C-alpha cells in the first residue's frame, strides 16, 4: 500500500469564512435590521409605526412607572406556580407510569386521549368552573406544561439501563430508594428536556390566558393597548415577553448545567 | 515461598470445604437447579441439573463455552432470576431474590456505576447499602477501599473520566465496601484491554485475600480461571450442569509472569482447555 505519511484534513466544501461563522455575525445582522427599521419609521411618520428609539424610551418609562412591571410580575407568578405544580406532578406520574404496571394501565388511556387536545380548547370550560382568577390561570399553565414533562419523565424513567437496575437490586435498595437514588437521577437528562420545552409553553400560555381572561397580566395589557392603537406600547409588550423568554431560558440552562454537569461530561467523554 | 504459605492459610483458613466430618454448611449451594426461559412459541432450557457448593473463603472460577449457561448461572445465584426448579441456598437459607450477603460485579461497568456520582460517591453508595458495613468513619472507609483497588488518586473523578479498567476497579471497591460475604463476578474483566485485565486480576486477588470474601468468578478465559482460582468448575457445553470440578491449588500469592510459567499452571490449563474444547 502506498500511503503517504502526512495526512491532511480535507477542507470541507463550502465552508464559511471565519467572520461569518461567529455568533457575533448574527447579532450584527440583527442590529442592521433595527437600524433599517429605525430609518424607515422615522422617514415615514405614521401612527402605525414606531421608531426603535421611541420603543426603547417607552420601555424605559414603562419600567420606571407604568403598568408593565406589575403585569410582568403577575404573568410570571401565574406561570411559575403553574409550572412548578406541573413539574412535581408530571415527574411523579411519569416515573410511576414507567415503573408501576398498575399505574400505567390506569393512567395511560385517558392521558393518551387528552394529550392531543389543544390547551386553548379547555380554557372556556375552566373559566366556567374556576372563574377568571389565579386558580383558573394556574391550572391552565400547569395543564399545558404537564404533558411536555410527563412524556419525557415517563420515557426517561422507563429506560434505566438493566445493569443499573440489577445493581440497585443486588445492593438491596428498597423500591423507594431505587426510585430516588437510581431511576430518577438516571432519568434526569430526559426530565430536563421536558422541563425546558414546558418552560417555553408555560410562558406562551400564561400570556394567552391573560388575554382570554382579560383581567391582569401581560396578555391583558397587550389587549388594552391594541384596542387603543398604542403601537409603541404593543411593541414594548411583545419585546418584553421575548426578553422574558430569553432570560428564563438562560436561567434554565444555568441550572441545568449545574445539575446535569455529569451528563454533559459523560456525553462529551463518549465522543 | 514463606510468604505464600502464610497468605494461603490466612485467607483459606475459614474455608477448606474439603475438611472431614462436622464441617460448616457451605456459603453457597445450588441443588438441581434448572432454568427454562419461556418464549412465545417454545421453551428454552438454558441450564439443568446444576449442583454446586462453594465454601466460605473459596475463590472459585466457572468456565465453559458460550451458550453453556454461565451468565444464566450467575443471574440465578445472584437472585436476579428465579430458578425454574431446584434450590439455591446462601449460608443455609434458600434465596428468594438477591441475597443480602452477596454483591455483584457486572461486565458492563459503565452501566453499573452511577455516572452522577464521583468514584468516592459510588463507593459511599456501597457503604450506605451494605450487608455488614465495617465500623468506622465513612470517609476513612471510602479511602480504604479506594486504596485497596489502587484508585486513591481518583476519588473525586467521575466514572466517565476514567479508563475501563479503572471504572471496573471502582465497581469492585463499591461492592467490597458493602462488606459482602460473597462476591459474584460475571465476565467482569472481559470488557477491558489485556494489560488492564492483568491489573484487575491482581486487584481482585489482593481484595479477596484482605477482605476475606468468597469469590465466584464466571469467565470464558481458561488462563484467567487457573490464574485466579483454587477451584475451576467447567460447565457442560449444552447446559447440562457441571462437567468437571477441578482443584488447582496453585501456590499463592500469584504473580502474572511466574505463576503462568509453573508446570502445574500449564498442566491445568491444558487439561481444562481439552475439556472445554471437546
3-state secondary structure B124-137: HHHHHCCCCCCCCC
B177's CB contacts (< 8 A; 6+ apart) are B123, B124, B126, B127, B130, B133, B141, B142, B145
Higher local confidence (pLDDT), A109 or A20:
A109
- Whether A262 and B111 lie within 8 Å, measured CB to CB: no
Tens-place pLDDT, residues B196-222 = 999 999 999 999 999 889 999 999 999
Residue A137 lies in a domain: yes
Judged by average pLDDT, the poorest of A45-49, A52-56, B233-237 is A45-49
Q: ipTM score of the complex? A: 0.88
pTM score, whole prediction: 0.86
- Whether A167 and B106 lie within 8 Å, measured CB to CB: yes
Closest chain B residue by Cα to residue A268: B160
Instruction: Give the separation between CA B273 and CA A88, rounded to whole angstroms.
Output: 58
Residue A255 lies in a domain: yes
Half-sphere exposure of B93 (CA within 13 A, CB side): 10
- Whether A164 and B160 lie within 8 Å, measured CB to CB: no
Instruction: Enumerate the residues of chain B whose CB falls inside 8 A of the CB of residue A263.
Output: 115-116
User: What confidence score (pLDDT) does residue B21 get?
Assistant: 44
Size of interface A-B (CB pairs under 8 A): 63
Q: Taking 90 as the threshold, does the pLDDT of residue A13 lie above it? A: no
Q: Which CATH number is A195's domain given?
A: 1.10.3720.10
**Which residue segment(s) compose the domain that A231 sits in?**
52-270
Chain B touched by A110 (CB under 8 Å): no
Best to test chain B binding among A162, A163, A167 (most B CBs inside 10 Å): A167
Tens-place pLDDT, residues B20-35 = 444 567 999 999 999 9
Pairing of strands B214-218, B182-186: parallel
Q: Give the count of domains, chain A.
A: 1
Chain B touched by A258 (CB under 8 Å): no
Which of A161, A169, A181 is facing B80, going by the closest CB pair? A169
Percent of chain B with pLDDT over 90: 78
Helix (H, G, I), strand (E, B) or coil at A28: helix
> Rg for chain A (alpha carbons), in Å?
25
- Whether A170 and B104 lie within 8 Å, measured CB to CB: yes
Closest chain B residue by Cα to residue A258: B116
Residue A197 lies in a domain: yes
Q: Taking 80 as the threshold, does the pLDDT of residue B11 lie above it? A: no
Superfamily, domain B58-82+95-277: P-loop containing nucleotide triphosphate hydrolases (3.40.50.300)
Residue A213 lies in a domain: yes
Find, among A164, A117, A11, the residue nearest to B174 by Cα: A164
Residue A17 lies in a domain: no
Instruction: Give the separation between CA B119 and CA B149, rounded to whole angstroms.
Output: 12
Segment of A33-47, A166-180, B7-21, B130-144 carrying the highest mean pLDDT: A166-180
Domain residue spans in chain B? 58-82+95-277
Residues A5-34: b if buried by 16+ CB within 10 A, e if exposed: eeeeeeeeeeeeeeeeeeeeeeeeeeeeee
Amino acid at each position: 500500500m502506498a500511503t503517504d505519511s502526512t495526512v491532511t484534513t480535507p477542507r470541507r466544501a463550502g465552508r464559511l469564512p471565519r467572520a461569518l461563522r461567529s455568533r457575533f455575525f448574527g447579532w450584527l445582522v440583527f442590529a442592521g435590521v433595527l437600524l433599517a427599521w429605525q430609518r424607515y419609521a422615522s422617514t415615514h411618520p405614521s401612527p402605525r409605526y414606531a421608531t426603535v428609539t421611541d420603543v426603547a424610551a417607552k420601555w424605559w418609562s414603562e419600567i420606571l412607572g407604568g403598568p408593565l412591571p406589575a403585569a410582568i410580575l403577575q404573568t410570571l407568578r401565574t406561570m411559575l406556580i403553574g409550572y412548578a405544580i406541573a413539574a412535581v406532578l408530571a415527574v411523579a406520574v411519569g416515573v410511576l407510569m414507567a415503573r408501576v404496571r398498575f399505574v400505567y394501565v390506569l393512567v395511560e388511556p385517558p392521558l393518551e386521549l387528552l394529550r392531543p387536545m389543544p390547551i386553548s380548547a379547555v380554557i372556556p370550560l375552566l373559566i366556567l368552573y374556576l372563574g377568571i382568577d389565579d386558580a383558573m390561570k394556574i391550572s391552565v399553565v400547569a395543564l399545558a406544561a404537564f404533558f411536555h414533562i410527563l412524556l419525557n419523565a415517563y420515557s426517561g424513567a422507563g429506560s434505566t439501563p438493566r445493569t443499573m437496575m440489577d445493581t440497585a437490586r443486588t445492593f438491596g435498595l428498597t423500591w423507594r430508594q431505587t426510585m430516588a437514588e437510581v431511576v430518577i437521577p438516571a432519568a434526569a437528562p430526559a426530565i430536563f428536556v421536558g422541563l425546558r420545552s414546558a418552560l417555553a409553553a408555560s410562558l406562551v400560555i400564561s400570556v394567552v390566558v391573560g388575554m382570554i381572561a382579560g383581567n391582569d397580566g401581560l396578555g391583558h395589557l397587550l389587549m388594552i393597548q391594541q384596542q387603543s392603537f398604542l403601537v409603541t406600547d404593543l411593541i414594548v409588550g411583545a419585546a418584553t415577553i421575548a426578553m422574558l423568554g430569553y432570560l428564563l431560558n438562560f436561567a434554565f440552562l444555568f441550572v441545568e448545567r449545574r445539575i446535569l454537569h455529569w451528563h454533559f461530561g459523560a456525553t462529551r467523554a463518549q465522543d | 515461598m514463606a510468604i505464600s504459605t502464610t497468605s494461603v492459610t490466612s485467607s483459606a483458613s475459614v474455608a477448606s470445604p474439603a475438611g472431614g466430618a462436622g464441617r460448616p454448611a457451605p456459603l453457597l449451594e445450588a441443588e438441581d437447579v434448572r432454568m427454562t426461559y419461556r418464549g412465545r412459541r417454545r421453551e428454552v432450557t438454558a441450564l439443568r441439573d446444576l449442583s454446586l457448593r462453594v465454601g466460605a473463603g473459596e475463590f472459585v472460577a466457572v468456565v465453559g463455552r458460550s451458550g453453556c449457561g454461565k451468565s444464566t448461572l450467575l443471574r440465578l445465584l445472584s437472585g436476579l432470576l428465579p430458578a425454574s426448579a431446584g434450590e439455591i441456598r446462601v449460608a443455609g437459607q434458600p434465596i428468594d431474590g438477591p441475597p443480602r450477603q452477596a454483591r455483584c460485579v457486572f461486565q458492563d461497568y459503565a452501566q453499573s456505576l452511577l455516572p452522577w456520582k464521583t468514584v468516592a460517591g459510588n463507593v459511599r453508595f456501597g457503604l450506605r447499602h451494605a450487608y455488614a458495613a465495617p465500623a468506622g468513619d465513612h470517609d476513612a472507609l471510602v479511602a480504604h477501599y479506594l486504596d485497596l483497588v489502587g484508585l486513591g488518586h481518583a476519588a473525586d473523578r467521575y466514572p466517565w473520566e476514567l479508563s475501563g479498567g479503572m471504572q471496573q476497579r471502582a465497581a469492585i471497591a463499591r461492592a467490597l465496601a458493602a462488606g459482602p460475604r460473597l462476591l459474584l463476578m460475571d465476565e467482569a474483566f472481559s470488557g477491558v484491554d489485556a494489560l488492564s485485565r492483568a491489573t484487575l486480576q491482581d486487584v481482585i486477588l489482593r481484595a479477596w485475600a484482605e477482605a476475606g470474601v468468597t469469590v465466584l468468578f464466571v469467565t470464558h478465559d481458561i488462563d484467567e480461571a487457573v490464574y485466579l482460582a483454587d477451584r475451576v468448575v467447567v460447565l457442560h457445553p449444552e447446559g447440562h450442569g457441571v462437567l468437571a470440578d477441578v482443584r488447582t491449588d496453585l501456590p499463592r500469592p500469584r504473580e502474572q509472569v511466574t505463576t503462568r510459567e509453573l508446570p502445574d499452571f500449564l498442566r491445568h490449563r491444558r487439561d481444562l482447555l481439552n475439556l472445554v474444547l471437546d
